[in-house]
Structure 1
């Protein structure tokens, strides 16, 4: 017999419910959706900051794209190696966030200060190291089977953007620290300012204006470099003027510098850097593979890559929220709540990325017009956006699950899982479909879809196993 019920909603209206089973299902769903506001409150500034950070490169591509497809392909090639260095550096800096979140959950400010100060030393040193590394590997650009005119333009752009690794890594130290304290708005403001500075500098330096010469893509590189320096000074100024950060900004004495703390950060940071390296490395490989088909396919690949990277920044924001909130629960030793909060983030990103997937499929012929008016480039980019639409779900989910695993400080096995997904499965498929079957960039992106799906599946299974294990162990002790 079917039972009909009415329940009262928060706005005092009666809502029809078909059966007690439906009530139970709604309550189960509400257990996760009730956390959406908390997740978004924390994640939104991070999303905006991440989008703002990406916008620096996106603005470069849009403004450089007006110069021509060869220039756009040159920035793509120049950024390909820089992105690998950035992924390594960011991976190390990401270790700061869960450690700060755990210390914040424990209300231990001295522990948080030590982690922050050691993290800042590490990220600054890494910035200089990455510049040196990028300079040393620069000759690789001549041996990637890329069009000569693209390589010639890419070199000076690459050299300047490489220098911007120093201010970028210093900023990351500040950003991951404030993210760990759930004070996410400061990095957002800094990146908004960065974009304003970058747009102005791009306009006057790329095209030439008033006393400024026309530098084209070199002007775009200078704009990025200068705007990142401004970003660091602004971030420090904002934190220094707030009394609540005084204890954290108090510099370590020499006797306070601890090898143990460095090793703890590196122990978390190195596997995280590998995770990012494996993923960014795969996408960089697609840039190089696409470049072997000529400047126009490479330009189309860059357009699709930049657009999919933009939506990925939303996943990054939710992922950091998952890291922080899971890290807080680790500090409180509340694993049941940890699992519920984490799954609320997984559900949230699934819904958001589903909307983006629909947008990519519907506007695939329109979005490339932001970058170029070349019909051949637009046609290739539109076909790639179809694939990008389908991998939105898996790309978003794997990023947020990784954030949850970082909150658990579980990084070694996830690194191995991402290696399997991207390089044991993904790259061979990309190469086989793209080069062997001569499907071009479209075949390469099918490989990306498969890699991201495998990654999301493996990482979710890992998180599910760990959280169930933690809950079971705690229940046995009590």
Structure 2
């Protein structure tokens, strides 16, 4: 095929992915706003949010990863025009997400004492404990929202989760301002105030998305009159077979970034704060790639339902190319502004904190150079993963992500950070190695499987 056969899909891919990207950036903005506002209080407070959220990221990775099983099933049913199959996929997915949300909340609460034995700065742990209690409670509405979002994405109605996320962000910013700094008559709660904003905004997000979907002709049938406890064992098994490996894929990736938070905490509060800043900025660009991963999952799922495997491969490759172009732009941005971007998170006018803030910015700017390099492999691996989920291929990709992040990436991060002078830089070199290995293996798997589908269709 000629290059034009792929580039002509760019416009539609961008149209489909943009609401997903904005919605995901919205989730990231919740964390960004928390970090910027809390960062004004000092590096210890910023490190506390980082430590608390590290537990949340692990739990959220399981919930969000599991919920992605809903999208390809709904997309396939939508491609077939089978509404009953689509509603069954969503209903069973919603039930499992509710159960999982409650279980993850309990798991985080039981895990809280681990912070005292992880060699983290004591003042950071003391600040993180009350913050984590409230943020952990927000897991339940967060995972329920994901069920609705994945259904909405599978129906190619990607703009509605974006609207819900925008409303949630407005609620979060207002409540953060009130409760972190004690404005409009609210108590000044510092780090705990940020947790209140996060919990309230996620509750609002669920109800508003349900309201939007219930008002749309295309989706009303699916979200109204759900008999949540009338369940099919076969459909539950199908979702578990797709959802569990998907959850583990995200868990392995998020887990290595969480380990970066913990390793940097061993190095001290300033390295931990610098890691959090670099991670926040890299996560913003990752959300763009994630948006195109969802677009790949939707479009590949549709083409699978239609049994159009040549189109499936062409569409997926067009998304790979588009993501690579955007990765180049992000990489250049990180390189050109690596010294300026970290300053957004800190109060440079506070003379009492100047020495700590200067060290944090210096460290974060170095990490952003490595983040610039892994823009390409991070984008490729997540889009390949989305395409494979659309093909309902999840078992081998799960093994690949484990090997990439925990057999290759983490040992490099640990050795270079704990046993060489690279320290924080060593952590991120390990991240780069893991992402690169994941991208190579997942792309090879997609290339093999998509060609195999085409060959089988011929026969």
TM range (shorter): over 0.9
- 2:150 is aligned, of 147, 151, 176, to 176
Q: Secondary structure at the match of 2:2?
A: helix
Q: Distance in 2 between matches of 1:30 and 1:243?
A: 36
> Post-superposition shift, 1:437?
1.3
The aligned residue for residue 461 of structure 1 is 444
Q: Distance in 1 between matches of 2:423 and 2:7?
A: 42
Q: Distance in 2 between matches of 1:210 and 1:52?
A: 25
Q: State yes or no: 1:126 paired with 2:126.
A: no
Q: Distance in 2 between matches of 1:162 and 1:391?
A: 30
Q: Distance in 2 between matches of 1:255 and 1:313?
A: 34
Q: Distance in 2 between matches of 1:419 and 1:253?
A: 37
Return closer, same or farther for 1:269/1:429 CA change in 2, 3 Å cut-off.
Answer: same
TM-score by length of 2: 0.97
- 2:425 is aligned, of 428, 431, 442, to 442
> Post-superposition shift, 1:241?
1.8
The aligned residue for residue 186 of structure 2 is 212
Q: Secondary structure at the match of 1:137?
A: helix
> Post-superposition shift, 1:121?
0.8
Q: State yes or no: 1:149 paired with 2:123.
A: yes
> Post-superposition shift, 1:256?
4.4
Q: Distance in 2 between matches of 1:109 and 1:239?
A: 15
Q: State yes or no: 1:405 paired with 2:388.
A: yes
The aligned residue for residue 23 of structure 1 is none
Q: CA offsets, 1:218-251, max 9 Å, x none?
A: 0000000001111111111111222322321243
Q: Kindly report which structure 2 residues correspond to 1:338-377, keeping only aligned pairs within 5 A, or say none.
A: 338-372=312-346, 373=348, 374-377=357-360
RMSD over aligned Cα atoms: 1.0
Q: Secondary structure at the match of 2:360?
A: helix
- 1:116 is aligned, of 90, 95, 110, to 90
Q: Distance in 2 between matches of 1:250 and 1:62?
A: 39
The aligned residue for residue 66 of structure 1 is 40
> Post-superposition shift, 1:272?
0.5
The aligned residue for residue 351 of structure 2 is none
The aligned residue for residue 425 of structure 1 is 408
Q: CA offsets, 1:81-100, max 9 Å, x none?
A: 11000000011100000000
The aligned residue for residue 14 of structure 1 is none
Q: Is the 8 A contact 1:117 1:251 kept in 2?
A: no
> Post-superposition shift, 1:255?
8.3
Q: State yes or no: 1:92 paired with 2:66.
A: yes
Q: Distance in 1 between matches of 2:163 and 2:275?
A: 31
Q: Distance in 1 between matches of 2:441 and 2:101?
A: 32
* Structure 1 residue runs without a partner (length 5+): 1-26
The aligned residue for residue 16 of structure 1 is none
Q: Is the 8 A contact 1:146 1:288 kept in 2?
A: yes
Q: Kindly report which structure 2 residues correspond to 1:233-312, keeping only aligned pairs within 5 A, or say none.
A: 233-253=207-227, 256-312=230-286
Q: Distance in 1 between matches of 2:264 and 2:249?
A: 23
TM-score by length of 1: 0.93
Q: Distance in 2 between matches of 1:145 and 1:128?
A: 29
> Post-superposition shift, 1:271?
0.3
Q: State yes or no: 1:392 paired with 2:406.
A: no
Q: Distance in 1 between matches of 2:258 and 2:227?
A: 41
Q: Secondary structure at the match of 1:292?
A: helix
Q: Is the 8 A contact 1:114 1:252 kept in 2?
A: no
Q: Distance in 2 between matches of 1:429 and 1:293?
A: 16
* Structure 2 residue runs without a partner (length 5+): 349-356
Q: Is the 8 A contact 2:92 2:228 kept in 1?
A: no
Q: Distance in 1 between matches of 2:229 and 2:119?
A: 52
> Post-superposition shift, 1:409?
0.3
The aligned residue for residue 193 of structure 1 is 167
Q: Distance in 2 between matches of 1:171 and 1:473?
A: 38
> Post-superposition shift, 1:252?
4.5
Q: Secondary structure at the match of 2:267?
A: coil
Q: Is the 8 A contact 1:287 1:302 kept in 2?
A: yes
Larger radius of gyration: 1
Q: CA offsets, 1:389-427, max 9 Å, x none?
A: 000110011010100000000000000000000000000
Q: Distance in 1 between matches of 2:453 and 2:183?
A: 61
Q: Distance in 1 between matches of 2:378 and 2:97?
A: 27
Higher mean Cα deviation, 122-131 or 314-323? 122-131
Q: Is the 8 A contact 1:201 1:223 kept in 2?
A: yes
Q: State yes or no: 1:416 paired with 2:399.
A: yes
Return closer, same or farther for 1:31/1:134 CA change in 2, 3 Å cut-off.
Answer: same
> Post-superposition shift, 1:65?
0.5
Q: Secondary structure at the match of 1:434?
A: helix
> Post-superposition shift, 1:443?
0.8
The aligned residue for residue 324 of structure 1 is 298
